[in-house]
Chain A
Amino acid sequence: MDPRDASAPVLLASNLVKAHGTGRGARRILDGASLHARAGELVAIVGRSGSGKSTLLQILGGLDRPDDGWVEVAGERVTGASERRLSALRRHRIGFVFQFFHLLPELDGLANVLLPATLPGADRAAPARGMELVERLGLSDVAHLAPHQLSGGEQQRFALARALVADPPLILADEPIGNLDAASGQTVLRLLRDAADQGRAVVMVTHQAEATAVADRVLRLDDGRVTELQPGGGEPLETAHDAP
């Protein structure tokens, strides 16, 4: 199946359950959350702080394992996959963008972008793509500065380039503009929108109105479940799919 096929969901998640803690202290953060994202679609997830948005995103990306339910990315099972398989999935199919950028302080901006390209098993075309991304994201002038010499917006653009360097069909972004000023935030949002318009599925956790404004769909995480809001706010239209 072609992951860029607009009709096929790149991301499918069903009935995810996740609890933190054990025994009496255990709290169900996710309690039957389901969602999907198609190629070319920018999906925003909103919810109050502590509702489990980051937890959900990490499970979607295979960074954490759910207690129940399953996730599929580009037609491949994430849940229950071996660590080796998961690594390959993350290498080729998923790009992450974090709220705190997570650039390696020892490497300059460009080297951070090229990081996934140096992994064993990486796509051969990745380095060239990385250079091009740095150019396109307007980072050429600061490509050789250390992360601590960069502004927050620049750091996040490098992080975005890093997520795109393997040309994955799915981008997961956790509050990508949460730490940025309005102007930088707009730039990053536009780049995410571009990424989606080029045929990727982009899932973005946010609580900023600017972010929901550019989204094709807005999902709300509440009491461990996902409900769909109409673009620009309003009442939930329907609960998300329980099954594909």
Chain B
Amino acid sequence: MRNAWAGLRARPGRAALTGAGIAAAALVLGVALTVAVGLATGFDRAATQADLPSVVARFDEEDPRDVADRVRRLPNLAAHSFRYEVTRVELRAGANRLGEGVVHVVGGGRRGYAVVAGRDVGDAAGEVVIEQGLAREWDLGPGDTLDVGEAGPAEVVGVAVAPDNVAFPLARTARVYLSEAGLLQQFPEGSRFPANLVLLWAADEERADVLLSFARQSAYGLSSVRFLTREGLRSLVEQASGIVVALLVAFAIIACALAGVLLAAGAHSEIQRRLAQLGVQRALGVTPGAVTAVAAAQGALVAAPAAAAGLLVGGLLAAGGTDAVLAALNELPPGPGARATVLAGAWGGVVALVAGSAAWPAWRAARRPPAGLLRGGDVSPPRKAARGRGGMTALGARLVTAHRARYAAVVAVLGMAAAVVLLLLALASLLERLRDDPATLGKRYSLTAALPADRADEVRALPGVAAAAPRYEQRATGASALGSPLRVIAYPGDHTIFEAPALAAGRRLAGPGEAEVGQGLADALGLRPGSTLAIQPGDGEELRFRVVGVVRALQDEGRVAYVRPDRLLAASPSLEAPLAVRLDDGADAAAVRAALARLGAEPRAVGGATGDDRGFLAVLAGLLRLVAVTVGLVCLYALVQSLALTVRERRGAVAVLRAAGADHRALRRLLFGAATAVVIPAAVVAVALEEVVLAPATARLAAGYADLPLGAGLGQAVAVSGALLGLAALASWEMARRLAREPVVTGLRETGR
């Protein structure tokens, strides 16, 4: 250990450089872990903390006493409680006003929400607990007053979180809780409140499905019964956050991998650089074991503070954004203890990784004969062909490529970093397209017009219109696994004219009894071509379709089904459908819109996917940007570090060249040659890595059920390669200038072994 310390003290600059690299990688890791762990575990944590029920059943108003007996007889039931939900209640506080308030009147028993500030509602009149989204958006807290519809002003006594919906304002409704006892005091004329919700807690959560199926069987006589399971809730909430959170998590995981590679490669090249020194040590009789131990200890000594700093800063940076996303989803952030545990684990991992990556090559090198090490064993024998011809640029390239292992490591690290940058760019443009470009979702129509189906012909006749047809859309739940929400989309004819998500299996639908289902739905319900899709539209009876194809639909995370409208219309004849209007290529959209308006239709442009709430998208984009910036910084660092190291290592060579009369012009060419020799293959590696590994991996991690166009565009690849080259040129320019200024002797002395 003392040897290790002395070794570091002798080269503080180099140790600092290594430390900075580790800190940068740890920063990415800290951000990525905080985001990934926070988001990936958010729902479960909130569900546990809120004591979320296993099943929620909604029905039309009933006297709870009538239902209670049936409920009590359910198997695998631990507890239940009734609620009375009133919607469209006006909420007011100061200047804020919302017509879409939802009041839950809670009686006794388990609650199903977590009180995160203040206390729960008691038996006193005039108390209200509000959902966290409302508290944050309207800046309310315990002690403030909220007007709750007819119940009038109530004191906010607590703030609650329940992950059974996304938070206000991402959800357009805001939920508040009043106690039945309090309301009865306020309105003594009633003796009891009805119920339209029952929360069921399973005794054995693993077997909640038993509870669900018995609940379904005993639901006869109740009207409009709908069940929602914990899993259903999860997918509902996840649907709102959409693909973006999934991408964020996936991206964070990849960032972790990048950080790991950076760390390992850094430690590895550090040892490669010290081979000669190892040779001396071995020649002096130091055992391979001792050499390895010193290398490991040095790695650990540098890594310990650097990793701690990087992880801490990364964790702090990402915590705010992650918490905001979690809050918008009505999920809870991990406690400081949990976060610290994750970061501490990562710290241990980083230190071990660095120590291991330093020890391994040291061990291997130490077991080689010392003579080889002393003679600069990792230099590949020069090739005969290029006898220094091709000038300085070629010489620069030869200088870096001669150390094969080191060269490969530098190219790999740079390539990785640039690949992540590419992925980032692709991700950013995907997000943009998701928001704005319907084609990303496989939508080929760009306008809708609120006109009845029989006027489609008129629309079709308009110039610039390629096709028009009514587009039926209905929300439904899967009948076999209740609570699994889906969207049914129907066109009277060939739907691929308007929406054509890629076919993953089977064939396109051909008749009214057939359905194409999204991969997401297929996964959720275990469907494949040949199986039966049974769905329950919002308020109708069960409908059945034969699945003939599985498509990669991005919309609603793939929880969609394409059918012909016949059966939907038979079940709910009043189903309305706007006309979907597909334009000719290059048609003047504005002119078509004007023409549609003249027909009396209200044309609307079709947007992209997921959540129409700008605030939430902004939060997500902010978080993404944070991850992007930290990774970008690390990429930049990796590039500059590898160039700086190359120059530093080749100071002797530079000095010899200068002694032979090389001026700063020659040095510039030399360094640029060295930089391009690294950068060009790194760019190739980056593009290949992004296209072949990262993009598919991210897309798969994010959503196996959709084709995410995450491949970088040609423009992006060119831009990144160009930026790398530009950076290389800039760095060589600056380094040449600085090198030319220092006395030649400095470089000569350094290499005098």
Q: Do A and B interact with each other, yes or no? A: yes
CA distance A219 to B740 in the complex (A): 32
Within 8 A of B (CB), among A93-118: 94, 96, 98-100, 102, 104-108, 110-112, 114-118
- Min CB distance, B397 to chain A, in Å? 10
List the A residue with the shortest CB-CB distance to B653. Answer: A104
Contact between chains at B382 and A146 (CB < 8 Å):
yes
CA distance A108 to B383 in the complex (A): 8
List the A residue with the shortest CB-CB distance to B395. Answer: A118
- Min CB distance, B272 to chain A, in Å? 14
- Min CB distance, B266 to chain A, in Å? 23
Within the complex, which residue of B398, B740, B748 is in contact with A106, where a contact is CB–CB below 8 Å? B398
A118/B376 contact (C-beta < 8 A), A89-B661, A106-B398 known: no
Contact between chains at B658 and A90 (CB < 8 Å):
yes
List the B residue with the shortest CB-CB distance to A89. Answer: B661
Within 8 A of B (CB), among A101-151: 102, 104-108, 110-112, 114-122, 144, 146, 148-149
Q: Is A83 an interface residue (CB 8 A)?
A: yes
Contact between chains at A146 and B395 (CB < 8 Å):
no
A100/B661 contact (C-beta < 8 A), A64-B743, A83-B740 known: no
Contact between chains at B748 and A119 (CB < 8 Å):
no
Query: Which of A91, A118, A121 has most chain B Cβ within 10 Å?
Result: A118
Q: Is B741 an interface residue (CB 8 A)?
A: yes
Chain B residues positioned under 8 Å from A111 (CB to CB): 382, 386-388
- Min CB distance, A87 to chain B, in Å? 3
- Min CB distance, A95 to chain B, in Å? 8
Chain A residues positioned under 8 Å from B375 (CB to CB): 148
Partner-binding segment picked from B138-146, B449-457, B663-671, B704-712 = B663-671
Chain B residues positioned under 8 Å from A116 (CB to CB): 660-661
Q: Is B65 an interface residue (CB 8 A)?
A: no
CA distance A111 to B402 in the complex (A): 14
Q: Is A65 an interface residue (CB 8 A)?
A: yes
CA distance A236 to B669 in the complex (A): 49
List the A residue with the shortest CB-CB distance to B393. Answer: A118
CA distance A64 to B744 in the complex (A): 7
Q: Is A24 an interface residue (CB 8 A)?
A: no
Within 8 A of A (CB), among B358-412: 375-376, 379, 381-382, 384, 386-392, 395, 398-399, 402-403
Q: Mark each residue of chain B from 456 to 496: 1 if its CB lies under 8 Å from any CB of chain A, else 0.
A: 00000000000000000000000000000000000000000
Chain A residues positioned under 8 Å from B653 (CB to CB): 104, 106
Judged by DSSP, the binding face of B is helix
Within 8 A of B (CB), among A78-95: 83-84, 87-92, 94
- Min CB distance, A59 to chain B, in Å? 9
CA distance A98 to B387 in the complex (A): 22
Chain A interface residue count, CB cutoff 8 Å, equals: 42
A64/B745 contact (C-beta < 8 A), A116-B661, A118-B395 known: yes
Within the complex, which residue of B388, B658, B740 is in contact with A118, where a contact is CB–CB below 8 Å? B388
Q: Is B662 an interface residue (CB 8 A)?
A: yes
Q: Is B344 an interface residue (CB 8 A)?
A: no
Q: Is B752 an interface residue (CB 8 A)?
A: yes
CA distance A91 to B662 in the complex (A): 7
Contact between chains at B663 and A83 (CB < 8 Å):
yes
Contact between chains at B753 and A100 (CB < 8 Å):
yes
Contact between chains at A115 and B660 (CB < 8 Å):
yes
Q: Is B64 an interface residue (CB 8 A)?
A: no
Q: Is A3 an interface residue (CB 8 A)?
A: no
Chain B residues positioned under 8 Å from A144 (CB to CB): 382, 384
CA distance A220 to B381 in the complex (A): 42
Chain A residues positioned under 8 Å from B386 (CB to CB): 111
- Min CB distance, A78 to chain B, in Å? 12
Contact between chains at B379 and A118 (CB < 8 Å):
no
Could you list some 24 contacts between A and B, CB below 8 A?
A58-B748, A63-B745, A64-B745, A87-B661, A87-B662, A87-B666, A88-B661, A91-B662, A96-B659, A100-B751, A100-B752, A102-B659, A104-B399, A104-B656, A106-B402, A107-B388, A107-B395, A110-B387, A115-B388, A118-B388, A148-B375, A148-B376, A162-B660, A166-B661
Q: What 10 pairs across the A-B complex have the smallest Cβ distances?
A: A91-B661, A87-B663, A106-B402, A111-B388, A90-B661, A148-B375, A63-B744, A116-B660, A108-B382, A114-B388
